[in-house]
Structure 1
Amino acid sequence: MPFPNDIQSALLFDHPVTHLEAVMRSFVNIETARTGVGYNLVEAKPGVFYRLYGGGELMVTLEYIAGPAKAEVFQPAMSSAITRIYCPDMGERLMRHKSHILIGVADGVIPSTPDIDRMLSQIGYQKPGMTLPKFLRRLEVCALLSRLAMDEVPASAVHWTQSDQLFPGEMFDALAAGSAPGMLHIHPYLYGGGESPDGKPLAGIRTFGAAHFIDREIRVEPHELPWMANFETILAFLRVATTQNGYIIPDNDTFGPEDHSLSYRVRHIAATADDVALYELEPLLYREHGYQSPHYVPRERTFDDRTAPDELMPGEPERQELLDEWQEKRAMAEGIGGRFEVRSRNPQPPAPPPPSQPTGFGVRRMFGRKTG
Structure 2
Amino acid sequence: MTGRYTNNIQAAILYEGGDAIYPSLHLNAFRAATLNNQLPLKVVQEDRHFVLMMGPGEFRILVTYFPRPADAAVFAPTLGSAVTTLLMPDARERVRRHTAHVLVEVHHGVMGGVTDNAEVAGFFSQIGMQRPGATLREFNMRVEILGEVCRHLLKVQPASAIHWTQNNMLIAGEQFTAFLDQPQPSMLTVHPKLFAGEPVPGFNETPAGLLTLGGADYIGREVYVAPAPIPWIDLYDAALAFMRVAILPNGYIVPDDETFGPENGDYSYRVRHLSAEQHPIGMREPSYALTLRFSRQHSYTTMEHETRTLISGGMRSVAAALEPDRAKRRELIADWEQKERTAKSVGNSLQLYRKGEGGSDEPSPASPPRFGGGFVRRTAVFGRKH
Query: Does TM-score exceed 0.5, indicating one fold?
Result: yes
Tell me: higher relative CO, structure 1 or 2? Use CA pairs within 8 A at least 6 residues apart.
2
Asked if 1:212 is matched to 2:217, the reply is yes
Equivalent residue for 1:314? Answer: 323
Seen in structure 2, the aligned counterparts of structure 1 residues 313 and 300 have a Cα distance that, compared at 3 Å, is closer
The structure-2 alpha-carbon separation of the partners of 1:115 and 1:101, relative to structure 1 and needing over 3 Å to count, comes to closer
CA distance in 2 between partners of 1:239 and 1:44 (Å): 39
Structure 1 residues 56 and 295 mapped into 2: Cα distance closer, same or farther (>3 Å)? same
Shift of 1:58: 0.8
Stretch deviating more after TM superposition (334-343 or 234-243) = 334-343
CA 1:317–1:169: 2 relative to 1, 3 Å = same
Aligned residue in 2 for 1:331: 341
The 3 A distance-change label for structure 1 pair 240 and 116 is closer
Amino acid at match of 2:267: L
2 CA distance for matches of 1:55 and 1:182? 27
Distance 1:298 1:341 in 2: 16
2:207·2:229 contact (CA, 8 Å) conserved in 1? yes
The residue identity in structure 2 corresponding to 1:320 is R
The match for 1:226 is 231
SS in 1 for 2:35: helix
Spell out the pairing of 1:1-372 with structure 2 (5 A cutoff).
Answer: 2-17=4-19, 18=21, 20-34=23-37, 36-46=38-48, 48-113=49-114, 118=119, 121-122=122-123, 124=127, 125-198=129-202, 200=204, 201-272=206-277, 274=282, 275-296=284-305, 301=310, 303=312, 306=315, 308-309=317-318, 312-315=321-324, 316-345=326-355
CA spacing shift, 1:141–1:305, aligned 2, 3 Å: farther
Q: Is the 8 A contact 1:220 1:230 kept in 2?
A: yes
Whether contact under 8 Å (1:16, 1:66) holds in the other structure is no
Letter in 2 for 1:239: R
Distance 1:277 1:253 in 2: 18
Contact 1:37 1:56 in 2 (8 A): no
Task: Give the deviation of 1:146 after TM superposition.
Answer: 1.2
Asked if 2 retains the 8 angstrom alpha-carbon contact of 1:191 and 1:203, the reply is yes
Deviation for aligned residue 1:302: 5.1
Alignment partners' CA distance in 1, 2:192 and 2:83? 7
Question: Aligned letter for 1:27?
Answer: F
Letter in 1 for 2:47: K
Structure richer in strand, relative to its length? 1
CA separation of 1:98 and 1:197: change in aligned 2, threshold 3 A: same
Q: Distance in 2 between matches of 1:119 and 1:234?
A: 30
Query: Would the alpha carbon gap of residues 309 and 183 (structure 1) be closer, same or farther in structure 2, given more than 3 Å must change?
Result: same
Aligned residue-pair number: 345
The unaligned stretches of length 5 or more in structure 2 are: 362-386
Distance in 1 (alpha carbons) for counterparts of 2:135 and 2:115: 19
Distance 2:66 2:298 in 1: 47
In structure 2, the residue matched to 1:349 is none
- Distance (whole Å) between structure 2 residues aligned to residue 173 and residue 161 of structure 1: 17
- The superposition leaves residues 195-230 of structure 1 with CA deviations (integer Å, 9 ceiling, x where unpaired) of 113364221111111112212111112221211110
1:301: Cα distance to partner?
A: 1.8
Identity %: 32
Paired residues of 1:43 and 1:52 also in contact (CA < 8 A): yes
Farther-moved stretch of structure 1 (294-303 vs 273-282): 294-303
Alignment deviations for residues 137-177 of structure 1 (CA, whole Å, 9 cap, x no partner): 11111111111211232211110000011111122211112
Is the CA contact (8 Å cut-off) linking 1:303 and 1:341 kept in structure 2? Answer: no
Counterpart residue identity of residue 5, structure 2: F
SS of corresponding position for 1:183: coil
- Give the root-mean-square deviation of aligned CA atoms: 2.4
Secondary structure of the structure 2 residue equivalent to 1:112? helix
Instruction: Specify the SS of the correspondent of 1:194.
Output: coil
**Corresponding letter in the other structure for 2:181:** A
Tell me, in whole angstroms, the C-alpha distance in 2 between the residues paired with 1:167 and 1:132.
24
Q: Deviations over 1:171-202 (max 9, x none)?
A: 22111122221111111111112311336422
Amino acid at match of 2:297: E
Alpha-carbon distance between aligned partners in 2 of 1:265 and 1:119, rounded to the nearest angstrom:
35
Q: Secondary structure at the match of 2:304?
A: coil
User: Any gaps of 5 or more consecutive residues in structure 1?
Assistant: 347-363, 365-372
**Native 8 Å contact 2:319 2:332 kept in 1:** no
1:301-330 Cα distance to aligned partner (Å, 9 max, x none): 254654543674212222211111111111
Contact 1:305 1:326 in 2 (8 A): no
* CA distance 1:119–1:333, change in 2 (3 Å): closer
- The whole-number CA distance in structure 2 between the counterparts of 1:115 and 1:60 is 17
TM-score by length of 1: 0.86
Structure 1 residues 98 and 340: CA distance shift in structure 2, 3 A = same
Report the alpha carbon displacement of residue 264 of structure 1 after superposing the two structures with TM: 1.0
Contact 2:23 2:63 in 1 (8 A): yes
For 2:337 and 2:171, locate their aligned partners in 1 and report how far apart those are by CA, in whole Å.
44
